Structure 1
């Protein structure tokens, strides 16, 4: 009965050895992948171990069985070393795999086999028999070198287990199935060794259970692509927590995402799903991913979605052998930054208008000053020089006001003014030729005098430019504001909404700044303005929003 059990176990080990040998050969063809060589050596050692143990069982009771019992160690030693090297590669510690490391790993096998070949009997085994009870048909008494080898092997397995278990605890959801498989594979040799050495079993299960370790590692390596991405991806996720980060493998499957990424998509269960499915509700991001997905270098683009802006980076992930193993899809919201950029651009445009506004508004007092200087030369009248000085003062005030306009400053210097006086003062600053000013009514206006003068000057100048030198301009007081109209050609209805925009003009020589400045002054005071048609068909500006003039009671 026991012999049949031994023989059945031997044939099982032979089958396992064939499978492990084939996997070892296949892993060797993938030796350019991180951990591929270590896995191949591990599987080769397990193959030798299983074969020697099977052969020893099938030749039990003979001298050949003792030889195969020693041959087991030819497989055990590379298997233990391979497991240790594999653990270093898996946990992204290949920097420790130097020539010194490999050299140290050869010390124990050299000492062991030296003791076996030249040492006295009993250092490894003391063999007695033959006997019908043992698996090999011999009785083996364990020696001191064997126990030293056992401690060394346990030490390698312990270090390998600690490295992998630590990584499993900190790796989060990255390749969770593969991590569980690795933990299972680490548990098997511990269980097998303890059971075989300290248990009362007739069959040594360690090689069979270690074969299970090799099979599990092979599955994780070949089917689960265990070493392709997990160490690198985890590092990338940890270092990029301020942005939404998605780690994607070469099949465009999301293998991990940080909390910011889940919040961005409003979903918790996105790991394991394809990018196509996850980003289905974010078509702009999906389109960007498709456009960048074929790139093998880091790429960047800005995406706008639902009035939000995102800075999208797609970075390739390479293993230690420069093989592409996946990508990190990083999405950072830059909506506030874009808004600041737009505000900066708007202010830059205002600054660009600075010179044009100066040229536009300073022309009026310059023309007045030039005319007054000509009259002063002809008449030698000191009053004309006073008018020139007033025009220069007006230019100085205009410069200050234009600077305020360029900075988009609001009116702060508000005083009580009279509509009629403002209109007359502004009319005097404009080269009005033969134009006529009519004022019907008067009212109080609380505002910035210089800005309001600028408003009326631009309105008057605009009327003269478009209505001709003989145009009549009328200023009317209203309960909640005032009205400025003329009898010129007017503004077509379809253009009235746009006349206050910067650069809009119907004159070939116009700058499109006059009414833009008017709108700026109105906005600065918190009023409203509307372009309409006068009774004569000309232009009519209706300003509203002023405080009603207080009534005087007697």
Structure 2
């Protein structure tokens, strides 16, 4: 970007004029914007000595329009950048502007991004003009380098004293993915990282002050796709006959792979030294060649053991003898061409000196072969006793939960069925208000049992998942609900992964909630949520009465309905949590309720149905 760009903004609308000037100066610290209320004032300013680097003019103005102003300016300065920035755009105006020799043409817009585009156009236009002037002044000097630069296979460039590119070979153009026209006259900071620019400036200044011929600095280029290219620039200072610095030239050698290897090595070293697991390597003869600190800490070894045969660690009681069992078989398996396994993982149960049970997880892999020969193995281990015990306890809890479900399903429903049967017999014998109240109480107890069973079934983490057509499942869930006169609109299609039965239960509960609180003629919509930073997913919304003002609607027992159990939305939250999804409630665009289920990725699509 060129420093010190003065801009004259011409617009008869004072608000637009002020906004344009303010926005441009905020967009770029290098822009200094003056304003004129019309073409006459602009011409008067030019006649009185104002010398802007660029004019930005509206089209539709009294007295002289933008193109008439351009014609008057061109009579005095044939190459002064002139950008037509107008809200009254048409192909006719654009064509007329181009024919009249306007530098650039840009329509106004409502967003501030238009001013960023305008600032960029101004800078590019001014840079091109300055570059053209500089090129004419230094063409003779540049010709000496042109043949050399273009003949080199390594990227090479020449900069003037301000840091703008005056020469660049084809290899440099390919490196920064830009053509010569884009590069020439553009400051080198547009193509290399800020840190690289600072290193380059210091290197050139140091070279000039010391009188040395050349020096090197590291340069990083980042492409539009985020890919980083790292090179080593061999830079030389250019001077005139008086010894004054006139620029610099550099040849860049690719060191991306070397730097990447160095970084990866450093990362791996940091990882293995700080990893909360024991790591060690054994050579082909069974001697310990390397280990991290966690290895000796975990085993309680305080002496230096590098170079010790692994059998000695077993004999000293530091390592269970079982670890050597089947070692050779595992190595043969990894070396075999009959499989593609890169490592083997296994668990081993053992007892320490106090007789306490422990479980260790081992991973074994091969060290890189040398000329096809076995060189040893690398091992990782960690104590997973707590994890195994937790898993076993979880299995026991699940068994108890299954027993609870069985009791609820059988031992509680049987008495209810007996009571229901006797109530039916009693109803044939007499007519009393208490019969209806009793029937309501029995139905209420059955609803509570159903909800408790749903919590028991659906609150567990989902392990086995399948691809589900969400639109089809929504229609199936809708068919299982007493929907009265309600309408269903499905505005998505695609799949999610989950447990079909649980997801259907989730949708059924949301549909019932919408009908219970939104009325029998409510409209329920199921739609897709794109990933806006909080995760993609789907929503269920209605145009009913909205959410209650107080209380956590997902809390078990929370209900605003006189005959509600307060379990429906609690079950919805449990099912979502079991899938690893996130659920939230808010007001819908129609004033009803909107439930969003995020982290449940859906495929994009659109479908409507009732």
TM-score, structure 2 length as denominator? Answer: 0.25
User: Greater share of strand residues, 1 or 2?
Assistant: 2
Q: Which has the higher helix share?
A: 1
Which protein has the larger Cα radius of gyration, Structure 1 or Structure 2?
Answer: 1
